[in-house]
Amino acid sequence: MKVLKLRIALCLALIVGALTLLNGMLQGARLETVIYRIIISIAIFGLIGYGLGIIVERFLENIVVKNIEQGPKDIVNEEQPLEEDLPVDSEFAPFTSESFQQITRPKE
């Protein structure tokens, strides 16, 4: 996550640099002027992107810290007994043709 601010800065600088190049070519500016504008744009928006990356990184770290502090939540079904509530001598009863009488159906 520490590289996030660098990625944001690099992406923002490259996007602005490409747009500056495109704008300079469409306006018919001289090559030196276009290169100068690209360098200035990349430098300024690279710093702005780095600052935005720091803000986003802190925000995401706060969210992660809050989730870690809350901890995992156990989902417990209150209707079914827990394993420690079952009697020790209970046996596994497989579903067979003789045990159809144990099944209850809702009345229609």
**DSSP per-residue letters across 23-34:** HHHHHT--HHHH
Per DSSP, the three-state class of 89 is coil
The pLDDT assigned to 63 comes to 86
Nearest to 60, CA basis, from 52, 71, 70, 48: 52
Sign of CA dihedral 18, 22, 27, 30: positive
**Average per-residue pLDDT for the chain:** 79
Q: Is the pLDDT of residue 68 over 80?
A: no
pTM: 0.54
Split at pLDDT 50, 70, 90, the class of 19 is very high
Nearest-5° angle of CA 12, CA 18, CA 22? 145
Split at pLDDT 50, 70, 90, the class of 105 is low
Q: Is the pLDDT of residue 36 over 90?
A: yes
Q: What mean pLDDT do residues 96-103 have?
A: 64
